[in-house]
Amino acid sequence: MVIDDGEGGVPDYLVARRMLVAQGLRCPAGLGCLVIVPVDAKPPSEPVRKALKVTLAVLPLRCMCWLVEGDGFQAAMVRGVLTGLRLVASASYATHVSRDLEEALRWMLPHLGGSADRVDAASRAAATIVAKRTTRPRESHA
């Protein structure tokens, strides 16, 4: 899970790439990636978009889901842009854009294999993510 508020720089993506590649070595069947785009997120800079593209190209992904938080026009616009990008991209993995955490997890889990019990765990997983996000202070990228 990555929370991308648009404030991160290229060095942040280099760190994330190293961590995700290491995780990919531990999970040779492939990874699932949930990207949470908060309501107050800003679009990434061009250098960050390039770093993100390189990162995605080297990961053994099975699926990727963008969860765009918010209900207003801006959130709908972001979801629309991401939907358009995923339609024209030539990703070798399944992609999805969501507006609800539990729905996003229910979409992802079947792509990652496992039993039906795993899909039923989406509610518990969503509750854990929400709890962790509310108890952890936001980092500053200054």
Domain boundaries, the chain: 2-99
pLDDT at 52: 86
- Average pLDDT of the chain to the nearest whole number: 83
Lookup result for tokens 């250098």: 47
27 touches 62 (CB < 8 A):
no
Calpha distance 72→94 (Å, rounded): 26
Calpha distance 64→96 (Å, rounded): 7
Q: How confident is the model at residue 142 (pLDDT cuts 50, 70, 90)?
A: very low
pTM of the model: 0.78
Q: How confident is the model at residue 13 (pLDDT cuts 50, 70, 90)?
A: confident
pLDDT at 22: 93
Residues 6+ apart with CB under 8 A from 72: none
pLDDT at 42: 86
Mean pLDDT of 38-58: 88
pLDDT at 32: 92
Calpha distance 92→123 (Å, rounded): 28
Q: What angle separates helix 101-111 from helix 122-135, to the nearest 10 degrees?
A: 130
Which tokens hold the place of 14? 């280099």
pLDDT digits (tens, 9 = 90+) for 63-83: 999 899 988 888 888 888 888
